[in-house]
A = this chain, B = another copy of it.
């Protein structure tokens, strides 16, 4: 039986983008299905009735949900490019930072850029502190994964293109080159990697879309 692989995604979603990058690194072919978040397809509702969110990876009829879970599955299912480190402790460290980005950093960035005006200053401070921890974790490495991109780099995709669009859309500056020289360099290198580059959405359209989604006028 031929392998069937589809990805239900959305062009502006950094979570969908993670899966696209991982599949590209693994050199795995798949059918891409673009979802309209304001008019969700019967396929999405069927495969993810719980929260009806993208990305959903469907492998031989089996739906996989949640980008972090999907990345684990991709690395376990297809050989070739290693997304997770081999050593169990290094793998645990990578999983910790992936969770840190999703559970702590991204909500903090969202509050800093699009949260209520009165709590804005504190939110910017919090997001800055969390970014500082990630800056330290990069150490002298080119990527979080070392010489090549790995799990944490892929999960941190939001910090490359999306954060710039967030900043432009909201007028809040978070990850400046002066404050975060390592992350800024990483961001540039990451976005220049071929597997990443060809899967990133067009920046201007993304800025307009995010601004309309979060509803705050640019300053």
Contacts and interface: CB of A to CB of B under 8 A. Distances in A.
Contacts of A69: 92, 95-96, 99
Interface of A: 50-51, 59, 62, 64-66, 68-70, 72-73, 76-77, 88-89, 91-92, 95-96, 99-100, 103-104, 133
Nearest to A130: B50
A88 B76 contact: yes
Contact of A91 (B65, B76, B103, B104): B76
B68 A99 contact: yes
Contact of A77 (B65, B77, B88, B96): B88
A96 B62 CA distance: 13
A65 B104 CA distance: 14
A78 B215 CA distance: 50
Copies in the complex: 2
B65 A96 contact: yes
A133 B50 CA distance: 8
B50 A72 contact: no
Nearest to A59: B89
Contacts of A59: 89
Contacts of A88: 73, 76-77
Contacts of A64: 89, 92, 96
Nearest to A60: B89
Contacts of A73: 88-89, 91-92
A31 to B, nearest CB: 19
Contacts of A50: 100, 133
